[in-house]
Amino acid sequence: MLGPSVAWYLGVAAFLFGTGALGVLLRRNPLIVLLSLEIMLNGSNLALIAFSRHHGNGDGQIFALAVMAVAASEVVVGLGLIVALNRKRLALDVDKLSTLRG
Amino acid sequence: MIPAGAWICLLAPLAGTLAITLCGTRISRVTAAWISTASVAVAFVGAIVAFAGLLGETPHKRSHLSTAWTWLEAGTFKAGLSVLVDPLSVFMMLIVSGVGMLIVLYSVGYMDGDDEERRYFAYMSFFVFSMLLLVQGGNLLILLAGWGLVGLSSYLLIGFWHERPVAVAAAKKAFIMNALGDATMALAFFVLILHGRSLDFGIAFATSSHLSSTAVNLVALGLLGGAVAKSAQIPLHTWLPDAMEGPTPVSALIHAATMVTAGVYLIARTHPIFEQARTIGLVAAGTGALTLLVAGLVALVQTDIKRVIAYSTMSQIGYMFLGAGLGAYANGEFHLMTHAFFKALLFMAAGLVIHALAGEQDIRNMQGIGRLMPRTRWAFLIGSLALVGLPPFAGFFSKDSIIAAAMGAQWYGWIFWVCALVGTFLTGLYTFRLYFIVFPGEPSPFVREHYDAHHGKEGPWTMTVPVGILAVLAVIGGWIQFAPLWTPVTMWLAPVARTLDIAEPTSWEEGISSALAVALGLAGVAVAWMLYAKRERAVPVVPTLQRALEHKFYFDELYDALFYRPSAAIAEWSRRGFEEPVVLAAGPELGDETQLVGRGVRRLQTGLIRTYVLALAGGLAVLAVVFLSVR
């Protein structure tokens, strides 16, 4: 087998996922939160593809394609929400959007 | 053809009920009344067909069991929906449907203009159906079903005027007392099923002869309990006088012709069991003797015309119990038949008076009504004479054979014989007290003021015709049997319920009993004439005795103290001790606790996305740790 072992790929995937998760948790701008989500999804995609190669079949790759489709749809909805927020002249800050508080 | 007649007889009144119920307000009240009358008339025709069929057969073959389908099946236990046609059931079918037809016809006039006439006639047909189911039932289970339905329909009819609280209370009382009897009967049946696995008459009777004496006594006692409750004998008699709150034709139907005689039918039907348990048979006879005396005494002081007749019914059924308990089944059944004639006549003649006086029932207000209603007066007089048992009226033939049968029994027979003779004296006294107070003499001011002549007649033809027919029957109805010379009723019933030898009186006993009974009856009439014909007082004037009688020997008070008050106290106690602190408090408490918990849990919902994500990530981390460590 050529190149580094699967562990390296998984390490990079975990790093990407962690970065994304930290971004979602810590950033307040919804645009950045969405961006961090994308990073998380791509981290998991990387892990899927690495395993696909490792096992030598295409299942993981197909799954990664499905995740991409979901990510694209999610971005459409998310960006739409952000545009709508902007039009209403609401603050672009997720901490201020807390009307669902119990 | 015989089973067909029986099924038609059974189902016609049910069809009448269903037709009236389903048509509702689409038919007029009068149509409903006639549907009901016609359905009972069809039943009577069916009974005649079955009777004619049986007449054409030899006596020992006169028994036909017709099963429609298996009604109930549990393991080896099977009970079919079946009717039994034999001399006894046909005898009862003829009485129930025949007298029932006249009473329903009478109701057409009596209930005219009542707000809920359709409901009344649906109930009437249903009652006749229940009673026919009871007497035709081909096994004990169907008999019990009819027994229960009779209780239900009498409850509905007694409480027919449901806007009157007294009527509703009377209906409940009747139902509860009857339910008690139903329960003891069901227990008796369980014992039979346990030992014989069947409730068919033949098998059940065969079973009873193998039972231990305790078991057979228990079975007989259970049956007697049912009979006593339904026939209003002491100690379960208090419902009958109260049941007079129902419409008068109902009183005639339930308390004269049909329902209260069911107990006598039951004893005659299940006589093999009572013959295995002679003690219980004698208890039945003793109950009858006691009841006929007590009811006769209480009847002396009642002032409501229907209540006097009701107590007289109890007393006469006491005679029937006396006869049936001693083993003179045919005599009991014969008295049942003549009693149906003259008691229905008395109730319906009383109903004519009540109808003419716009619902008045107090005899002290009715004085002198005979002047205005001469034909009713004659009808009532005939009924009274038949009730007292003077020849040639119906009661003479039937009652005297029962008294004579008591004489034929052993030493205890003499006690019963004396009771029965004292009873005839009381019968003469209370019956003619009623007659002398209500009918002869100048009409009282009350009567003049309230008398409402019905187009110059004493009532519509639908009311007067049945009274006339019954008056004729009350005269000639007894002539079909004159023991010991001429006994077709006894012969007819012999294949089903043969009179025991011990209850078969000799001619000498018949003669002396008849002579004494007639003499004592006449003495009662004479005393009544001396006391009441001058119309100076309505009740006897011995204060203590009078008070005891007016309280009906304190039976109601006794039951009140024994059953009502303890259960009311227990109910009150459990309301205070359990319902209010536990059940009632539980609702608000549960609500409060839920709100409190909710208020705490609400804090978790911050509205901040980061919290949720953190919870998700944290949960995931915990799960991962758990999975890894468990592996």
Task: Looking at the complex, report in whole angstroms how far the Cα of residue A44 sits from the nearest Cα belonging to chain B.
Answer: 15
Taking the Cβ of residue A33 and every Cβ of chain B, the question of whether any pair is shorter than 8 Å is answered with: yes
Q: Do B613 and A102 touch (CB under 8 A)?
A: no
The pLDDT assigned to B484 comes to 66
Residue A39 clears pLDDT 90, i.e. is over it: yes
pLDDT band at A15 (very low <50, low <70, confident <90, very high): very high
pTM of the model: 0.77
Query: CA of B612: which chain A residue's CA is closest?
Result: A25
Taking the Cβ of residue A21 and every Cβ of chain B, the question of whether any pair is shorter than 8 Å is answered with: yes
Q: Which domains does chain A have, with CATH numbers?
A: 6-89 (1.10.287.3510)
B524 three-class SS: helix
Contact (CB, 8 A) for B372 and B451: yes
Chain A residue numbers touching B600 (CB-CB < 8 A): none
Q: What is the CA radius of gyration of chain B?
A: 30
- Distance, in Å, from the CA atom of A41 to the CA atom of B507, rounded to the nearest integer, reads 117
Main-chain dihedrals φ then ψ at residue B237, nearest 5 degrees? -100, -10
Task: Looking at the complex, report in whole angstroms how far the Cα of residue A28 sits from the nearest Cα belonging to chain B.
Answer: 9
Task: Looking at the complex, report in whole angstroms how far the Cα of residue A99 sits from the nearest Cα belonging to chain B.
Answer: 6
Write b or e for each residue in B501-513: b if 16 or more Cβ atoms lie within 10 A of its Cβ, otherwise e: eebbbeeebbeeb
Query: CA of A18: which chain B residue's CA is closest?
Result: B617
Helical spans, DSSP H, in B231-328: 239-242, 248-252, 262-269, 271-276, 278-299, 305-326
Chain B residue numbers touching A33 (CB-CB < 8 A): 609
The pLDDT assigned to B540 comes to 52
Q: What are residue B69's DSSP bridge partners?
A: B81
Q: Do B607 and A21 touch (CB under 8 A)?
A: no
The pLDDT assigned to B537 comes to 56
Main-chain dihedrals φ then ψ at residue B408, nearest 5 degrees? -70, -20
Taking the Cβ of residue A98 and every Cβ of chain B, the question of whether any pair is shorter than 8 Å is answered with: yes
Q: Do B610 and A100 touch (CB under 8 A)?
A: no
Q: Do B608 and A24 touch (CB under 8 A)?
A: no
Chain B residue numbers touching A21 (CB-CB < 8 A): 613, 617
Q: Do A25 and B614 touch (CB under 8 A)?
A: yes
Helical spans, DSSP H, in B357-444: 369-372, 374-388, 394-408, 411-438
Backbone CA torsion sign across B242, B247, B252, B257: negative
Chain A residue numbers touching B614 (CB-CB < 8 A): 25
Query: CA of A101: which chain B residue's CA is closest?
Result: B607
Taking the Cβ of residue A24 and every Cβ of chain B, the question of whether any pair is shorter than 8 Å is answered with: yes
Q: Do A94 and B603 touch (CB under 8 A)?
A: no
Q: Which of B601, B603, B613 sits opposite A25 (nearest CB)?
A: B613
Q: Minimal CA–CA distance to B44: which of B123, B160, B125?
A: B125
Contact (CB, 8 A) for A56 and A37: no
Q: How many CB atoms neighbour CB B39 within 10 A?
A: 27
Task: Looking at the complex, report in whole angstroms how far the Cα of residue A3 sits from the nearest Cα belonging to chain B.
Answer: 29
Taking the Cβ of residue B600 and every Cβ of chain A, the question of whether any pair is shorter than 8 Å is answered with: no
Size of interface A-B (CB pairs under 8 A): 35
Taking the Cβ of residue B603 and every Cβ of chain A, the question of whether any pair is shorter than 8 Å is answered with: yes
List per-block mean pLDDT (blocks of 10 residues) for chain B, which spans 631 residues: 85 91 85 90 91 83 80 80 87 90 88 82 92 89 90 90 88 89 91 83 82 86 90 84 84 80 88 85 88 87 86 89 85 88 89 83 80 85 88 83 78 83 89 86 77 67 86 84 74 76 73 84 85 62 65 77 87 89 87 92 84 89 92 74
Chain B residue numbers touching A102 (CB-CB < 8 A): 601-607
Query: CA of B601: which chain A residue's CA is closest?
Result: A102
Token pair listed for B550 = 């007016």
Residue type, B318: G
Instruction: Name the one residue in this structure whose structure tokens are 């408090």.
Output: B585
Task: Looking at the complex, report in whole angstroms how far the Cα of residue A2 sits from the nearest Cα belonging to chain B.
Answer: 31
Chain A residue numbers touching B606 (CB-CB < 8 A): 98, 101-102
Instruction: Name the one residue in this structure whose structure tokens are 């009906």.
Output: B552
Q: Do A25 and B604 touch (CB under 8 A)?
A: no
Query: CA of A37: which chain B residue's CA is closest?
Result: B613
- Kindly tell me the burial class for residue B553, based on how many C-beta atoms sit within 10 Å of its own C-beta (0-12, 13-18, 19 or more): middle
Q: Do B617 and A25 touch (CB under 8 A)?
A: yes
Write b or e for each residue in A16-27: b if 16 or more Cβ atoms lie within 10 A of its Cβ, otherwise e: bbeebbebbeeb
Q: Which of A21, A25, A100 sits opposite B607 (nearest CB)?
A: A100
Q: What is the CA radius of gyration of chain A?
A: 17
Task: Looking at the complex, report in whole angstroms how far the Cα of residue A87 sits from the nearest Cα belonging to chain B.
Answer: 22
- Distance, in Å, from the CA atom of B223 to the CA atom of B228, rounded to the nearest integer, reads 9
B542 three-class SS: coil
Q: Which of B607, B610, B614 sits opposite A101 (nearest CB)?
A: B607
HSE-CB at B267 with a 13 A cutoff on CA atoms is 41
Chain B residue numbers touching A20 (CB-CB < 8 A): none
Q: Do A100 and B614 touch (CB under 8 A)?
A: no
Task: Looking at the complex, report in whole angstroms how far the Cα of residue A82 sits from the nearest Cα belonging to chain B.
Answer: 15
Backbone CA torsion sign across A81, A82, A87, A91: positive
DSSP letter, residue B443: P
Contact (CB, 8 A) for B178 and B146: no
Q: Minimal CA–CA distance to B609: which of A94, A58, A9?
A: A94
Task: Looking at the complex, report in whole angstroms how far the Cα of residue A101 sits from the nearest Cα belonging to chain B.
Answer: 4
The pLDDT assigned to B545 comes to 67
- Kindly tell me the burial class for residue A96, based on how many C-beta atoms sit within 10 Å of its own C-beta (0-12, 13-18, 19 or more): exposed
